[in-house]
Structure 1
Amino acid sequence: METNLKYTEEWLSLARHGNFQLAEKLYFDKLFPEIIDKFQNRFSNLFDEDEVLISILGFSPEPIILTANAVKPIKHYIITTEHKDEVINRVEEFVQDEFNLITISDTSFNTIYKSLKEILYQIESPKITIDITGGKKSMVAAAAIFGKDYRCKITYVDFDDYIKELRKPVPGSEVLNVVYDPYINQPELFLK
């Protein structure tokens, strides 16, 4: 495992020895701010200044936080089916800009698609990124279809290295994949 982040080995040792609360505290107090900086420096050039971000939230706040810090959106909407206070508190702690939290009643295609369409009516920027990293698979599928239908950039936070026994990415190995960019993947949509 290669990493150049200062607290990785200490975090890994705590986690592997079952000190999960101490490991989590170290992670969010010391390690995660470094991860955010590295991620932001690496991926912020993929986005314009007038970008709107729509994030799908599941149980892990880290991908949403990373994407939000890379995009620096003018507006940010987070869609979830249920919000756990500790997850929302983490997002609030590490995302500097305000966001609108939208809690939906179910994960059906129609509910997701309708919720995304309602957001679309509220914004003026044509530059929309949908981050499909979090949420249930049905939510992600509906969001991806919506993104394709409405010419949105679709992103996914992935990783290069994984710690199998902890079910976590190696800190600092997180990458932002642009799954679909209409300007690159279908430029013919913009010809007049």
Structure 2
Amino acid sequence: MKQLHTLETLIQQYSALGTKSQRFKYYFDSIRPLITSLLKKQIDQKIKTNVLSQYSTLIVILGSNPNPSLIITNAVCPQRLVVFYPGNHKKVLDTYFIPFLDPSIDKESITTIPIDYNNHDINYNTMYHALSRLPKTKILCDITSGKKILSFQLGLIAKRLGFDICYLDAELYIKDSDIPVPGKESLYIYTSSSDEPTTINVHQQNQLRIHYLPSTHTLLYVIGSNQGTFKYIHDDFSYSSIEVIKQEIDLFYKKN
């Protein structure tokens, strides 16, 4: 509940700001670090439970807004980072991206590669040449930022080389802006081994799941993804059992 309250407060304070520069600074300084922390926790949990692999290399395209690339980079914390950036975004790279990378990311492991803003044929060749020479480890390509054509090209190259692809999106945006409502973001990861993406919600709500095991007449209550389980066993379920089950659910929520 504390995190929800914090997110709601951030939205209110962001919306109250008058200028674009004020909003950018507030998001960069106050909202971005919190979203990064929440996303990193979800990614670490997915890795811990073997739902997701640990990526050693991350590829990003830096756009005019550094926030999406910075959030993903600091949440993944790769051992090797490759950053493609149009020449006119050099200031963004030097001022808002590199200095704010997580301390665990070794600066010596970062490769920055300038690309042309308009020459798409040259850009494709530049990106393919750089990525095809990478060591064959777990590699993730982020296609969230940059011009659509650049993201499309990086996606094609990733598929050609067998790399995974990710994209940060949101189900809801702050009114009259292109900024996601904090906590409503989701990271989608597409792997070469699955037709369905792995979805990582930035703010994971507690969910109660109830499983009935007919062979043992067992109800299994599970709250969240890793917050513990409660097992309730009953020999025969009838209409009168509904009240018993309701009481058990209420008790379970009080305990958790």
Distance 1:14 1:127 in 2: 37
Identity across the alignment (%): 26
Q: TM-score, normalised by structure 1?
A: 0.81
Give 2:83's aligned residue.
78
Query: What RMSD over aligned residues (CA atoms) do the two structures have, in Å?
Result: 2.6
- Structure 1 CA distance, aligned partners of 2:12 and 2:115? 36
Q: Residue 146 of structure 1 aligns to a residue in which SS? A: helix
> Match of 2:156, as an amino acid?
I
In structure 2, what is the equivalent of residue 53 of structure 1? 58
Counterpart residue number, 2:160:
149
Contact between 1:77 and 1:100, CA under 8 Å: does it hold in 2?
Answer: yes
Instruction: State the Cα distance separating 1:109 from its structure 2 match.
Output: 4.2
Q: Which amino acid aligns with 2:193?
A: Y
Q: How far 1:154 sits from its partner (Å)?
A: 0.7
1:146: Cα distance to partner? Answer: 0.8
**1:107–1:139: 8 Å Cα contact kept in structure 2?**
no
Shift in Å, 1:60: 1.5
Report if the CA contact (8 A) 2:10-2:31 is conserved.
no
Q: 2:188 aligns with which of 155, 177, 180?
A: 177
- Identify the range of structure 1 (97-106 vs 139-148) with the bigger mean alpha-carbon deviation: 97-106
The answer to whether the 8 Å contact 2:36/2:72 transfers is: no
Q: Report the structure number with the largest CA radius of gyration.
A: 2
1:190 match: none
1:15-30 mapped onto 2 (5 Å cutoff): 15-30=15-30
Using a 3 Å threshold, how does the CA distance of structure 1 residues 5 and 108 change in structure 2: closer, same or farther?
A: farther
Residue aligning to 1:32: 32
Q: Residue 90 in 1 paired to residue 96 in 2?
A: yes
Q: Please name the residue that 2:114 is paired with.
A: 103
How many residue pairs end up in the alignment?
Answer: 183
Letter in 2 for 1:6: T
Question: 2:185 and 2:59 mapped to 1: Cα distance?
Answer: 19
> What SS does structure 1 have at the residue aligned with 2:28?
helix
SS at 2:29's partner residue?
A: helix
The answer to whether the Cα contact below 8 Å between 2:55 and 2:76 also exists between their aligned partners in 1 is no
Offset at residue 174 of structure 1 (A): 1.6
Please give the alpha-carbon distance, in whole angstroms, between the structure 2 residues aligned to 1:102 and 1:55: 10
Q: Which runs of 5+ in 2 are unaligned?
A: 197-256
Given that 1:53 and 1:77 are in contact with CA atoms closer than 8 Å, whether structure 2 keeps it comes out as yes
Tell me the SS of whatever aligns to 1:129.
strand
Q: 1:140 to 1:64 in 2, by over 3 A?
A: same
